A and B are shown apart, each in its own frame.
Chain A
Amino acid sequence: MAYKDFRDFLDTLRKEGQLLTIEDEVMPEPDLGSAGRAINNVSDKSPALLFTNIHGYQNASVAMNVIGSWPNHALMMGLPKNTPVKEQFFEFARRWDNFPVPVKRMDSAPFQEVEINQDVNLFDILPLFRLNQYDGGFYIDKACVISRDPSDPDNFNKQNVGIYRIQVKGRDTLGIQPVPQHDIAVHLRMAEERGENLPVALAIGCEPVITTMAAAPIGYDQSEYEMAGAIQGEPYKVFTLPGTNLDVPWGAEFILEGEILAGVREFEGPFGEFTGHYSGGRSMPVIRIKRVYHRKNPIFEHLYIGMPWTETDYMVGVNTCVPMYQQLKDAFPNEIVAVNAMYTHGLVAIISTKKRYGGFAKAVGMRAMTTPHGLGYCKLVIVVDETVDPFNLPQVMWALSTKMHPAHDVIILPDMSVLPLDPGSNPAGISHKMILDATTPVAPETRGHYTQPLDAPLATEKWEKIFQDLLSNQ
């Protein structure tokens, strides 16, 4: 089952009681950013927000927090909204294995209803607003950014779809933050080495599966569209923008078409980031927008980002755990049970594994740090037994408190790579990393009094079932 477009998903959220429409007038600042922050403070089952009356605008609609809770994430996958996170993880991993699913090409797209190709003024076209108090400006932070590999432009698999923060700096000018490890930075480097601008398209207001894949660390030559097809179980619909070789999500509300200017860097930021800290001001690439398409009565989608948890954390939770899980399973297929890399995008990760022999769990921790995502994250990896659910933090704390011996189980690796946005890294991009082995020692590592683990009383499972039924009928 697949959502046709963004509006189709909003309709499902509405039917499921997971969309709150706010028709009272709100101020662009500080109301919209504050509401995006507040909705995640008050609930972990929070609905999406749709604002339809924004001071000074006529007919503007702003959607936020669309994937901003586990129920909304489950609905993104077409699962019942109360599906536990661990089950969402295993279902995501199962569908991941169906990659690649070829795309479906469309001849026209709804966003062709309105086309603006001169005197583009993004401040007039989009209901932009400031999120956090000391953000340098108004941002677009949930656009799928599409680009092609300039050295291999006909290769569909190397076409990239990613989410990168975008500052609106002038009527037709944007700033973008391509972290050097990410695919768009690879495309940009090639273009700049040739002295060429890099054509890009920004798709705003997409159905949630492509947004989830755009934020997932998949391989350079793996197509986000073909992975979206695997996750939604149906070919993903794309439309080739006229006059370009860029394939964009067919159902998008807005498309911004332009180029990253070769060799240009300009002051950008600061911006409140997912680390819960501002990023500082840096010199970053610039995009010039030439053309904008949008649907009639378009909905501008944005999100709140800041100290976890926010919508960003739900967006980069399961889609980051699963590739790391797959990569660890490639190395240790019979041992790896589950991976929870959801804390600050995997700066802290928890891995549940069986052990082959003493020392094995520590090797698993080191392997996590050498996965593509781990190179910039995994500052702390906690390894737990296969019987511990890594998504259940009280169980993880129990493992740490009883299985971990500080003299044997704490491994510190000096001066490893980490993403520069980690505010503790010093210099930016370098940090020590740590493995905490909270698994039960196995031979030849015999230590501690672990031979008498406590089992639950015999009929516990029967009683769990009884209570679940009784409670769900209340």
Chain B
Amino acid sequence: MTTCPRCDSTKAEAVAKSPVQGAWTVYTCPVCFYTWRSTEADKFTEPSKYEPSFKVNQADIPNAIQVPTVPSRTNH
């Protein structure tokens, strides 16, 4: 488990390692779905350096508007 640079959840995990061994690792966050590669600049990989205006507050995630909205079930 790793800390997500964007929403600070501690649930991020490695999803891929580079085919050339040791070059990089890709992580994703199951809370805000941020994805990053270990070789990116630290402003994209370190929670304290991620651009504040693009940080995601975990509490806001359930309130994000739906595009498109889920229609109600009809019977066919």
B residues in contact with A60, CB < 8 Å = 19
Contacts of B32 in A (CB 8 A): 136, 267, 281
Q: Are A30 and B20 in contact, CB atoms less than 8 angstroms apart?
A: no
Q: Which of B19, B28, B61, B76 contacts A57 (CB 8 A)?
A: B19
Please give me the residue from chain B that is nearest to A177 by CB atom.
B67
Residue from A133, A134, A263 in contact with B70 in the complex, judged by beta carbons closer than 8 Å: A263
A105 close to B (CB within 8 Å): no
A193 to B72, CA, bound (A): 6
B71 touches A265 (CB 8 A): no
Number of interface residues of B (CB under 8 A): 36
Give the residue of B16, B23, B34 whose beta carbon is less than 8 angstroms from that of A55: B23
B28, B64, B67, B71: the one within 8 Å of A170 (CB): B28
Q: What 1/0 flags go to A117-130 for Cβ under 8 Å of B?
A: 00001011000111
A56 touches B67 (CB 8 A): no
Closest Cβ of chain A: how far from B50's Cβ, in Å?
9
CB of A29 closer than 8 Å to a CB of B: yes
Bound form: Cα–Cα A333–B37 in Å: 55
Pair B15/A28 contact, Cβ less than 8 Å: no
Please determine whether A137 and B66 come into contact, CB atoms closer than 8 angstroms.
no
Interface contact A266-B33, CB-CB below 8 Å = yes
Asked if A283 contacts B16 (CB within 8 A), the reply is no
Q: Does A178 contact B (CB under 8 A)?
A: yes
**CB proximity of B66 to chain A, nearest CB, Å:** 5
Check if A282 is an interface residue, CB within 8 A of chain B: yes
The docked-state distance in angstroms from the alpha carbon of A268 to that of B66 is: 10
In angstroms, Cα B65 to Cα A175, docked, is 15
Contact of B59 with A by CB under 8 A: no
A175 vs B6: C-alpha distance when bound (angstroms): 18
Instruction: Confirm or deny: A17 has a beta carbon within 8 angstroms of a beta carbon on chain B.
Output: no
- B35 CB–A CB distance under 8 Å: yes
Contacts of B34 in A (CB 8 A): 136-137
Closest to B13 in A: A170
- Which of the 9-residue segments A70-78, A184-192, A198-206, A384-392 touches chain B? A184-192
- A100 within 8 A of partner (CB): no
Beyond A134-B51, A268-B33, whether A193 also contacts B23 by CB under 8 A is no
Give the residue of B33, B44, B68 whose beta carbon is less than 8 angstroms from that of A185. Answer: B68
In contact, B15 and A282 (Cβ under 8 angstroms): no
- A123 CA / B30 CA spacing, docked (Å): 15
Q: Are A56 and B66 in contact (CB under 8 A)?
A: no
For the A-B complex, the count of residue pairs with Cβ-Cβ distances under 8 Å equals 120
CB closest chain-B residue, reference A59:
B19
Q: With a CB–CB cut-off of 8 A, which chain B residues contact A180?
A: 67-68
The 8 Å CB contact of B33, one of A30, A136, A194, is A136
C-alpha gap A281/B57 in the complex (Å): 11
User: A193–B54 Cα gap in the complex (Å)?
Assistant: 35
Given contacts A121-B16, A123-B16, A134-B54, contact A283 B65 (CB under 8 A): yes
A195 part of interface (Cβ distance < 8 Å): yes
> B16 contacts A124, CB within 8 Å?
yes
Q: Which residues of chain B come closer than 8 Å to A171, judged between CB atoms? A: 15-16
Verify if A179 is at the interface (C-beta below 8 Å from B): yes
Q: Give A123 Cβ to nearest chain B Cβ, in Å.
A: 3
Selected contact of B20 from candidates A58, A121, A137, CB within 8 Å? A58
Closest-by-CB residue of B relative to A421 is B67
CA distance A58 to B61 in the complex (A): 37
- Show 19 A/B contacts (Cβ-Cβ < 8 Å), sorted by A: A28-B39, A29-B37, A29-B44, A56-B23, A57-B20, A58-B20, A123-B26, A128-B26, A130-B40, A169-B35, A170-B30, A180-B67, A188-B68, A193-B76, A266-B33, A267-B61, A281-B32, A284-B66, A420-B67
For the A-B complex with A55-B20, A175-B33, A282-B64 known, give 20 more contacts whose Cβ atoms are closer than 8 Å.
Answer: A30-B41, A56-B24, A58-B19, A123-B16, A130-B37, A134-B51, A136-B6, A136-B33, A137-B33, A138-B26, A170-B30, A189-B68, A192-B70, A192-B71, A193-B74, A194-B76, A268-B33, A281-B56, A282-B66, A284-B66
Residues of B in contact with A (beta carbons under 8 Å apart): 6, 15-16, 18-20, 23-24, 26, 28, 30, 32-37, 39-41, 44, 51, 54, 56, 61, 64-68, 70-74, 76
Which 8 residue pairs are nearest across A and B when measured between Cβ atoms? A56-B23, A56-B18, A137-B35, A123-B16, A283-B64, A134-B54, A180-B68, A169-B33
